[in-house]
Amino acid sequence: MIPIFPKREFLLLGKAYGELGRILGHPDELFYAVEDQVSLWSPAQEIHHIAIVNREFFGKIEVLYRDREEEDIVRRGLPSVPAMIGLTLGTIPRGKVQAPARFEPPPEVMREEAAALFAESKREMASLAQRAGGLNELTGRIDMGPLGKLKALQILKLARVHTQFHLGVTKEIVRAREARQRR
């Protein structure tokens, strides 16, 4: 398994969150744009999705910190094939992984809702980042459903990979809309 360095993961997550924060301030014609050739979601929906998924990821890491005997924690098990691809390649194959329905954003996401979820996710990330060194000590695994049984460091890396993937899609949507506006 490729080593995972928590400080690096938090640094890259922080950088991605900075870019996403700037996108939150984009004008409505960019923030709510849907460019079907890029994604069926708008930047507002992409940010909403990132925030709810990362809140789940960060919450699972908190479970591993908080109660090492909790019933969700297992001692054995492996990541699923899609999780292994993300952990090994550091990316998500486009169009190959479908988010569970509970992580899909609603058809219309208001800026305030996306911003509030994003801010909460950012606070949770900052809280975990303060304890980055302790992640190496968490040896339990938690069942992440379709992602398999993951350790805290693996969850953190997948949070970063997932965030960067959707940040890339979001930037692509914005570029496509800006190009359309210039025509």
Q: Hey, CA dihedral for 37, 24, 15, 136, is it positive or negative?
A: negative
Helix (H) or strand (E) holding 150: strand 149-150
The pLDDT profile of the chain, 183 residues, written as one tens digit per residue, is 678 999 999 999 999 999 999 999 999 999 999 999 999 999 999 999 999 999 999 999 998 888 656 656 666 777 777 778 778 878 776 766 677 788 999 999 999 999 999 999 999 999 999 999 899 888 888 888 888 888 999 999 999 999 999 999 999 999 999 999 888
Q: Hunting for tokens 């507002």 — which residue is that?
A: 44
Q: Which two tokens stand for residue 9?
A: 């993961």
Q: Which residue has the tokens 């570029």?
A: 175
Half-sphere exposure of 30 (CA within 13 A, CB side): 16
Predicted local confidence at residue 2, as pLDDT: 79
Give me the pLDDT at residue 1, please.
64
* Residue position matching structure tokens 């890396």: 157
- Specify the DSSP element, H or E, that contains 137: none
Write out the E strands in 9-113. Answer: 73-74
* Position 168, amino acid: G
Which residues touch 156 (CB under 8 Å, ≥6 apart)? 4, 6, 9, 10, 57, 61, 128, 135
How far apart are the C-alpha atoms of 17 and 79, rounded to whole Å?
Answer: 26
Tokens of 26: 């984009």
* pTM of the full structure: 0.91
CATH number for 6-182: choose from 1.10.10, 3.30.750, 2.60.40, 1.20.120: 1.20.120
Report how far residue 102's alpha carbon sits from residue 95's, in angstroms, rounded to the nearest whole number. Answer: 18
At 91, list the tokens. Answer: 């990316």
Beta bridge partners of 143: 149
